[in-house]
Structure 1
Amino acid sequence: MNSTSLSKTKIAILAAFIYTAVMGFGMFYMKTFKGIFYGTPDMMNVFWFVMIIVNIINVFFVIRYFSWQEVGFRKLNTRQLLWFIPSLSVLIAMWVVFLSALASASLNAAQWQLLALVGFTTFLVGLGEETMYRGIVLSAFLTTNRVLWAMLVSSIAFSLLHSVNVFGGSAPLEMLVQLVFTFLFGFLFAPLMIKFNNIWPLIIFHWLWDFVLFAANLVDASNVSLLSYINTPVAIVVGTILWIRIHKEQHGVVKPSSMIS
C-alpha cells in the first residue's frame, strides 16, 4: 500500500468505529427484538450472523488498505510463546473445571447443538476482534513509530468495543467493570502481538477463553468464571514487564527479541 502513516491510522479508526457500531446494533437487535440478553448462551443464536458481518468488514479493510501479513498473519516467533505460559495456565484450569462439569452433565440434543454454535460463534469473535484490534488498529498505529502509543490505542479501542454490551442488557456498572477487564486484556495482548509477530496464538486463546466462559453456563460450572479473574493480576504483571521491555528495546537499552513490522 502507498497509504501514508496518517491515512492508515485514520482508516484504522474508521474500521474500528464501524466494527463497534455493527456490534452495537447487533446487541440492540438481540435484546429489543429477540429478548435475549448479553452473556447467555442463547445469544449465539443471533450473534453468529453479526460476527460473520464484522469479519467480512475486517476482510474488506485488510484487502483494501493493509495486507494479511501486515496485520499479523506472518511467521511466528515461537521463542516468545513463553510469555503466554501464565495466562495459559489460567485458561487450562478453566477448561479442567468446565470439562469436569461437562462429563457429569446430561445435555439434550438441543443443548449439544447450542454448545457447537457457541464454539463456532466464539471462534468468529476471537478471529474478528484480534484481527481488528491487534491486527488492523495496532499495525496502523505502529506505522507512526510510537510503539507504546500504538499499544495504548489498541488496548483502549478494544476496551471501548465492549461498551456496546449495555445495548444487550448489561447493567451500566457491569459494563464499566468489563471495560476495565477488557482494557487489561488488551494491555497484555498488544505487546504479546509484537513479541509473537503472529496473530494466531492470540486468536486461538481468545476463542478458547470466550468459549469456555459461555459454555460453562450450559453445564453449571460457575467456578470457571471465578477462575478467569486470576488472569487479571497476570495481565497486569506480565503486561507491565512486556511494556517496559518493549520500551527499552525501542530506545536501544536491550536488544530487540522480535521484529516489529
Structure 2
Amino acid sequence: MTVVSAKDARVAPRVWIGLVIWAGYLGLIYVVQALSGIPYDTWGDSAGNLFLGAGLSLIIATILLALTTTLLGWWRPALYDRNRSRHRWPIFIPILFAVAAAMNLAGTDWSSYSGAFLAASLTLALVGFTEEIVNRGLLLVGFRTRVSEGWVWFLTSALFGLSHFVNVALGADAAGTVQQVFFAFLAGTVFYILRRTTGSLWAAMLLHGLWDFSVFAAGVGTPSDIAYVANVVEPLAGLLGLACVVFVIRGSKERIPGN
C-alpha cells in the first residue's frame, strides 16, 4: 500500500478541517431537507416525498463532498490505509452485518413498491458514500494527524453516532433517535473494522449504503419475520465489533505525519 503523508495532499490535513467538513455536511443535510418542507416521518408516504425529503440532499452532498475531497487532495488517505490490519479475522463482523442487510431485503414486501418509489429509495444508497467519506474518510484523516488510532476509531464512531441527532430537528422522535445514535456508534465500529481489515473505505461505503437501503426497504409494506431477525443480528454484530475492534487497532501505523 502506498505510504500516505500530509505532503501528498494539496492542503495539509488538520483536525479542524475534518471537523468543519463533518459539521458542514450536517448543516447541508439539515438545510436541504428542512427546505423541502417534508417531515422526517412522512418520507415513506410517496416517491416524491422520499426523493425531495432525503434523496435530493444526498445527491447534492455527494457532489460537494467529491469536489471538496478533490480540492483538498485527500482522496488517497481518505480511501486507503497505509497497511491493512495484521488481524484479518475480525472481518467476520461486517460479514455478519451484511447478512443482517440481506435478511432485511429477503423480508421486504416488494409488492408494495412501485417503480418510481424503488427509484427514489435507491438514492438512499448514496448515504454509503456521503457518511463514510465524511466520518471514516475526511474526519479520520484529520484525526490521524493528532491522536492515536484507538482515539481515531472512537471519535469517528462517536461523531457518526451523534450526527444522527440532526433527525430530531427534522421531526424524528427524540427517544427513538437516542437509540439510533447508539446503534449508529456500533455500526460505525463495524464500518471502521471493515476499513482496517480490507485496507480501503470502498467496502465500508458499499455495506453502509446496502444497510440503509435495506432498512428503509423493510419498512415499506408488511415485512416477513426474517426482517425482524435482522434487528437482532445487526446490534449483535455491533457489540461483537466493540469486543474485537482492539485487534484491528493494535499495531496500526496509520498516523499521518507532516504537521
Give the TM-score of the pair, scaled to structure 2.
0.80
| Structure 1 residues 40 and 242, CA gap change in structure 2 (3 angstroms) | same
1:78-135 deviation line (CA, Å, top 9, x unaligned) = 9976533344334335424533554xx5346xx222112212x122111111111011
Q: What runs of 5+ residues in structure 2 fail to find an aligned partner?
A: 1-8
Distance in 2 (CA, whole Å) between partners of 1:52 and 1:67 is: 20
- Residue 58 of structure 1 is matched in structure 2 by 65
| Structure 1 residues 145 and 97, CA gap change in structure 2 (3 angstroms) | closer
- Residue 149 of structure 1 is matched in structure 2 by 151
Residue 90 of structure 2 contacts residue 193 of structure 2 at CA under 8 Å; is this kept in 1? no
Paired residues for 1:2-17 under 5 Å: 3-4=11-12, 8-17=14-23
- Residue 209 of structure 1 is matched in structure 2 by 211
| Structure 1 residues 156 and 136, CA gap change in structure 2 (3 angstroms) | same
Residue of 67, 72, 86 corresponding to 2:79: 72
1:49-82 deviation line (CA, Å, top 9, x unaligned) = 1011211231232112242111015799599765
Residue 108 of structure 2 contacts residue 224 of structure 2 at CA under 8 Å; is this kept in 1? no
Residue 90 of structure 2 contacts residue 244 of structure 2 at CA under 8 Å; is this kept in 1? no
Distance in 2 (CA, whole Å) between partners of 1:40 and 1:230 is: 24
The runs of 4+ residues in structure 1 deviating greater than 6 Å are 78-81
1:9 partner letter: V
Q: What runs of 5+ residues in structure 1 fail to find an aligned partner?
A: 251-255
- Residue 174 of structure 1 is matched in structure 2 by 176
Residue 41 of structure 1 contacts residue 118 of structure 1 at CA under 8 Å; is this kept in 2? no
1:112 partner letter: G
- Residue 240 of structure 1 is matched in structure 2 by 243
SS of the residue aligned with 1:106?
helix
- Residue 129 of structure 2 is matched in structure 1 by 127
Residue 98 of structure 1 contacts residue 216 of structure 1 at CA under 8 Å; is this kept in 2? yes
Distance in 1 (CA, whole Å) between partners of 2:146 and 2:40 is: 42
Distance in 2 (CA, whole Å) between partners of 1:23 and 1:77 is: 32
Distance in 1 (CA, whole Å) between partners of 2:38 and 2:97 is: 34
SS of the residue aligned with 1:40?
helix
Matched pairs, number: 244
Distance in 2 (CA, whole Å) between partners of 1:143 and 1:57 is: 24
* Structure 1 position 198, deviation (Å): 0.4
* Structure 1 position 173, deviation (Å): 0.9
Distance in 1 (CA, whole Å) between partners of 2:153 and 2:85 is: 21
1:201-238 deviation line (CA, Å, top 9, x unaligned) = 10111111111111112242164255233221322223
When the two chains are superposed, the root-mean-square deviation of aligned CA atoms in Å is 2.9
Distance in 2 (CA, whole Å) between partners of 1:86 and 1:247 is: 15
Distance in 2 (CA, whole Å) between partners of 1:141 and 1:135 is: 10
- Residue 50 of structure 2 is matched in structure 1 by 44
Residue 101 of structure 1 contacts residue 220 of structure 1 at CA under 8 Å; is this kept in 2? yes
Residue 101 of structure 1 contacts residue 221 of structure 1 at CA under 8 Å; is this kept in 2? yes
1:106 partner letter: S
- Residue 111 of structure 2 is matched in structure 1 by 106
Q: Does residue 228 of structure 1 match 2:235? A: no
Q: Does residue 34 of structure 1 match 2:41? A: no
Distance in 2 (CA, whole Å) between partners of 1:142 and 1:186 is: 17
Residue 87 of structure 2 contacts residue 248 of structure 2 at CA under 8 Å; is this kept in 1? no
- Residue 190 of structure 1 is matched in structure 2 by 192
| Structure 1 residues 93 and 161, CA gap change in structure 2 (3 angstroms) | closer
* Structure 1 position 260, deviation (Å): 6.7
Residue of 17, 25, 30 corresponding to 2:31: 25
